[in-house]
Structure 1
Amino acid sequence: MQKFNNAYILGISLVSAMGGLLFGYDWVVIGGAKPFYESFFEITSSAGLQAWAMSCALIGCIIGAVFSGVISERFGRKWPLTLSAFLFTIASIGTGSAFSYTTFVIFRIIGGVGIGIASAISPMYIAEVAPARMRGRFVALNQMTLVIGILAAQVINFLIADKVPAGASSVFIQHSWNGQMGWRWMFFACSIPAIIFFLLTFTVPESPRWLLKAGKSDKAFPTLSKIGGEEYARKEIVNIRSTFNDINEKVDFKALLHPGYRFVLLLGVFLAVFQQWCGINTVFNYAEEIFSAAGYGVSDTLFNIVITGSVNLVFTLLAMFTVDKLGRKKLMLLGSIGLALTYILLGGAFWFHLKGIAVLTFVVIAIAIYAMSLAPIVWVILSEIFPNRIRGAAMALATFALWIACFILTYTFPLLNKSLGAAPTFWIYALICLFGFFFILLKLPETKGKTLESIEKEITESKNK
């Protein structure tokens, strides 16, 4: 059996996966800071300004996703990671320093650009350096660090925030330490790992697959040799080159219009959108509203969020150990049907006005199911299914679709929750999950244990005959 330098692969994968950690932290920190910055900026009575503060980062995510396709095709995978680390650093310091609502929004958007770049590049880079038989767990490593980032934000929010009395008014919160300084330190804390990530990106090699596409085989060979030895490097170079018509061919977004790529692009976009519209991110972004509806106060809500984050981490680790054994398709099917059933029960809990532990239990179950299925597996599949020739541009398109879907989900949840109520809203998400289950059952091929090049040939040849 082929032996690999697992320590080296793990090392460069962990550096790339720090983009996921910062993505997770930046994405969730705003949920804990929400009651405090809203009081500071005096927007507690404006649903529109509240929604924009929560969702504006998604505009940056969309910009970053599109931008990632352009720069990853032209400059490779390594330097976009460096750029995303720089943007995370600027955003965390700028957001925490903001004294006006407008400044706060601007830096949230800058942070969103960093998220958009990292979310596309980090899993793609790992997929391009990891050997086929262990690619799933290494790409899932990006989701694990993302979840660690989420949990870190939840714990830091809980530790920084002073206990808020039950029923505290917005005026009380505004003049408290939390309302003046606490929420700032929640954002400042992200700058430390961001700076570390920035420095470490200078130590990782460029993706050998991108180097070969750019006609730089002399630079790709040493990295592949370090991963699996010289014989492995020679075989990989032959396999990778076989997927390019012209090794020096320039690829842009126009190549995505080729009829031969239609199925795989539609599949990637569907999975990206489905990961968001399954509804679980509403729990992270609107935990305050969900737990308030279940009868919890602000301090209890922050503690409950830490519980959900811990469950998220445990079941993401479980996904890492099962993705290369059970396969991608089985886990996706399990996640889709599991979430559908859980949302039906969660909606029932709200419908019958159940409080406290009942709602918390169903939320924890939903997060556990999502964490071991749709959350990591969608990113694994997206990093695998796109052909070498268009991977950067196609990954950017799928990530762009993901963030558009996330924006729609984040912006519409409070509107649906207010007009329909919590129960019908979660039942809508249940219907979406059922639809996703049948689509995956009929359309998604299994990619476990296959090289990126064999996956490319299988999908393009079977769907475009």
Structure 2
Amino acid sequence: MENTKHFNFKYILSISMISALGGLLFGYDWVVIGGAKPFYERFFGISEIPHLQGWAMGSALIGCIVGAAIAGKVTERFGRKKPLGLAAFLFVVSAAGTGWFNDFNLFIVFRVLGGLGIGLASTISPMYIAEVSPSIYRGRLVSLNQLAIVIGILAAQFINFFIADVVPDNMTDLEIMNSWNGQTGWRWMFWAELVPAFLFFVLIFGIPESPRWLSKNKKMDLSKKVLLSIGGKDYAEDVQKEINETLQETASALSLKKLFKGKNRSLIIIGIILAFLQQWCGINVVFNYAEEVFASAGYGVSDALFNIILTGIVNLVFTLIAMQVIDRWGRKSLWLMGSLGLCTLYVFIGLFYFFELKGFALVVLIVAAIAVYALTLAPVFWVLASEIFPNKIRGAAMSITTTSLWLACFLLTYSFPILNKTMGTYGTFWVYAGICVLCFLFVKYKIPETKNKTLEEIEDLW
């Protein structure tokens, strides 16, 4: 057990929080489109075209996939710090451009650029935090990235609600398109992201490079200097020794063939499966298609936007709880609890839609599902993904895992309007319930507990 007295917790927390700003922008950029959806769809004339609705919502995820796919190579060559700066720059460009142009194709281009930033940040931020965190704090600190994502989501929901004028329930599509919301309001929803994006870009210059990356690139003195700032002389010497030992096992360059060989291949397959299961548990459709989900429950546009804020507040509260328990309860038990909880709630949500039972009770079930997800699968995935891979392949393996997550997210987001139309909302939620059962079984039999272990100890565990 590490001696917590010698840790410079303020320093560890500050650099982790700066890195986690990537998560905040990830959350904002990902969800802001849900509040703008009723208005830009009318503006671009796609409100009755399901495949273009799906493309508008899912296009950013193409950028996410590309960003996550290149993150491994980029982080191996340039470290963790510089690529985070690139992600911040992409967020700035995307936020400015998405709201500026009147052409749907250009709207898509800037959404893809924002997705590229999300792909980079979602891969690198939790990996960076894991690599600078002592094991006793790592679960909570990596969960800080999830907390930042949730804050970004909630910020987008509040900003969407306060920017949008009240929309009477009897307004036609043409009236909505010609309103302030339909012409200008949705643009300001995207432009509001410029403030945190620029702040992230400036602050990223103040954090150190990852000691694991520095050691891997034979910059031992710089690595030890960072570790000294984190935990003092004894901690720096012990951790540097552990890092050196794991790196000495394979000093040669990492090839794609080695990446998918033996234990490495098994771990990467596990990471890919976890990514798909975490996405196809289905909760993200509530964030991306919240307006449609609440409209199906009998709410108008303005009431739906208010309910979306409620989901964001619950998401934040239960993420804070997760940060307190993830290092005590463990990763595996939280994931198992979340899978069963979501499965049960989805069955009941499907029944409500099937029997056309609308109103407050359905909102309670949806909000409860978000609470379960925020407490369990949401933070646990990012912690596990940042922990399970050996030092020598972490950058590349994390890139593959996060690419898989965004591919799964794209398929989920793009397919929801189509599934919703062909199977009904009830059938779609029952499909997600079945996937949650698979989620439970896979983790129960394939994933060991990793709490309170150093990254090097977890490497030995596998």
TM-score by length of 2: 0.98
Aligned to 1:456: 459
1:184 aligns with 2:187: yes
1:49 aligns with 2:58: no
Q: Write the distance in 1 (CA, Å) between the matches of 2:251 and 2:226.
A: 20
Deviations 1:187-233 (Å, cap 9, x if unpaired)? 00001100000000000000000000010001111110010001110
1:136-285, aligned counterparts within 5 Å? 136-245=139-248, 249-285=252-288
Aligned to 1:34: 37
The farther-off stretch of 403-412 and 13-22 is: 403-412
Q: Write the distance in 2 (CA, Å) between the matches of 1:304 and 1:254.
A: 49
1:95 aligns with 2:98: yes
Q: Write the distance in 2 (CA, Å) between the matches of 1:198 and 1:52.
A: 29
Q: Write the distance in 1 (CA, Å) between the matches of 2:235 and 2:133.
A: 12
Q: CA deviation at 1:150?
A: 0.1
Aligned to 1:463: none
Aligned to 1:316: 319
Contact 1:30 1:54 in 2 (8 A): yes
Code of the residue aligned with 1:229 in structure 2: it is: G
Q: Write the distance in 1 (CA, Å) between the matches of 2:215 and 2:321.
A: 34
The structure-2 alpha-carbon separation of the partners of 1:253 and 1:202, relative to structure 1 and needing over 3 Å to count, comes to farther
1:438 aligns with 2:459: no
Aligned to 1:416: 419
Aligned to 1:302: 305
Q: Write the distance in 1 (CA, Å) between the matches of 2:168 and 2:184.
A: 18
Code of the residue aligned with 2:447 in structure 1: it is: L
Code of the residue aligned with 1:144 in structure 2: it is: L
Equivalent residue of 1:194, what SS? Answer: helix
Gaps of 5+ in 1: 460-465
Contact 1:65 1:400 in 2 (8 A): yes
Deviations 1:252-304 (Å, cap 9, x if unpaired)? 44431221212211111111111100000010111111111110000000000
Q: Write the distance in 2 (CA, Å) between the matches of 1:109 and 1:323.
A: 33
Contact 1:63 1:113 in 2 (8 A): yes
The alignment yields a C-alpha RMSD, in angstroms, of 1.0
Deviations 1:48-84 (Å, cap 9, x if unpaired)? 2111111000100000001111100111001110000
> 423, 428, 437: which is aligned to 1:425?
428
Gaps of 5+ in 2: none
Q: Write the distance in 2 (CA, Å) between the matches of 1:251 and 1:319.
A: 35
The structure-2 alpha-carbon separation of the partners of 1:253 and 1:78, relative to structure 1 and needing over 3 Å to count, comes to farther
Code of the residue aligned with 2:229 in structure 1: it is: K
The farther-off stretch of 344-353 and 150-159 is: 344-353
> 63, 68, 72: which is aligned to 1:65?
68
Contact 2:331 2:450 in 1 (8 A): yes
Deviations 1:146-181 (Å, cap 9, x if unpaired)? 000000000000000000010311110111000111
Equivalent residue of 2:171, what SS? Answer: coil
Q: Write the distance in 2 (CA, Å) between the matches of 1:213 and 1:421.
A: 52
Q: CA deviation at 1:245?
A: 3.1
Aligned to 2:372: 369
1:12 aligns with 2:15: yes
Deviations 1:20-66 (Å, cap 9, x if unpaired)? 00000000000000011111111223222111111000100000001
Equivalent residue of 2:246, what SS? Answer: coil
Contact 1:20 1:145 in 2 (8 A): yes
Q: CA deviation at 1:118?
A: 0.3
1:81 aligns with 2:77: no
The structure-2 alpha-carbon separation of the partners of 1:418 and 1:204, relative to structure 1 and needing over 3 Å to count, comes to same
Contact 1:215 1:247 in 2 (8 A): no
Contact 2:50 2:418 in 1 (8 A): no
Identical amino acids, percent of aligned pairs:
57
Equivalent residue of 1:40, what SS? Answer: helix
Q: CA deviation at 1:247?
A: 7.3
Contact 1:122 1:142 in 2 (8 A): yes
Contact 1:214 1:247 in 2 (8 A): no
Q: CA deviation at 1:130?
A: 0.3
Contact 2:267 2:389 in 1 (8 A): yes
TM-score by length of 1: 0.97
1:397-416, aligned counterparts within 5 Å? 397-416=400-419
Q: How many residues align?
A: 459
